[in-house]
Amino acid sequence: MEPKELILKESLDLFLNHGFKSVTMDDIASRMGMSKKTLYTHYKNKSELVAATSMHMCNFICDGVNNIALDENRTPIEELYEVKSYVMRELRGDNSSSIYQLQKYYPEIHQIISKRMYDFMDNCIYRNVERGIELGLYRDNIDKTFVARMYFIGIQGIKNISIFPIDRFPQDQLYDQYLEYHLRGIVTPAGRNILNELTQSNHH
């Protein structure tokens, strides 16, 4: 692996575990076993490194979600739960403080990432809704664009820790509750059966 790629990988790991603000260039240099001077030959400042790692994380997650969506052995309902598990795993589950720090201390970078995620998710959920209607699992009288955008707004909304403090709303449960809330509004009776099975297994 190229030094630049290795720095990207190790920095992202530190940022996700400790937060984008908390981790310093000194921390990264010491983790890499290199001088700060060498680190600066690859990334000229911390903002550049934060932007590169954020975009890397964003692309990685989009690729993973795409792979899940391409597997037609899952129903669209199962697909959404699988996507949720995947994203939680990659973003270190309950540790949403890293994303919160990105939003607070690097708002321009956060905005670029959010826009990229929005465009990607909008398309992804639209396809999910389309397939759900074709398979008779989602109602055929829903507005696909509206549903896809409401899904995105909801996902953004539950990440707001001033509304959903982590001590009262553990992330994993919160995502499950949100998915069930989203799906109950659009499923047909056949879809509801699949959803009931999934939510019962999640409760156990």
- Give the model's pLDDT for residue 27: 97
Q: With cut-offs at 50, 70 and 90, classify the pLDDT of residue 95.
A: low
Average pLDDT, the chain: 92
**Whole-angstrom distance, CA of residue 100 vs CA of residue 119:** 21
> How much of the chain exceeds pLDDT 70, in percent?
97
Of residues 91 and 83, more confidently modeled: 83
Least confident span in 26-30, 53-57, 158-162, 173-177: 158-162
Per-residue model confidence as pLDDT tens digits over 102-124: 988 999 999 999 899 999 999 99
The pLDDT value given to residue 81: 96
**With DSSP H G I counted as helix, E B as strand and the rest as coil, what are the percentages for the chain, rounded to 5?**
75, 0, 25
pLDDT of the residue at 29: 96
Tell me the per-residue pLDDT of 130-157, one tens digit each, with 9 for 90 and over: 999 999 999 999 999 999 999 999 998 9
Whole-number Å distance between alpha carbons of 200 and 204: 6
The DSSP H or E segment spanning 71 is: none
Q: What is the pLDDT of residue 203?
A: 67
* CA 30 to mean position of chain CA atoms: 29
Higher pLDDT, 201 or 136: 136
3-class DSSP state of 43 = coil
Task: Render pLDDT for 40-56 as a digit per residue (tens, 0 to 9).
Answer: 999 999 999 999 999 99
All structural domains of the chain:
46-203 (1.10.357.10)
Contact 76, 135 (CB under 8 A): yes
Residue 200 has pLDDT above 80, yes or no: yes
| Span 46-68, average pLDDT | 95
**Dihedral Cα 137, 139, 140, 141, nearest 10 deg:** -170
> Which region, left, alpha or beta, applies to residue 33 given φ > 0 means left and ψ of -120 to 50 means alpha?
left
Q: 181 pLDDT band (50/70/90 cuts)?
A: very high
Query: What is the three-class DSSP state of 187?
Result: strand
Query: Whats the size of the chain, residue-wise?
Result: 204
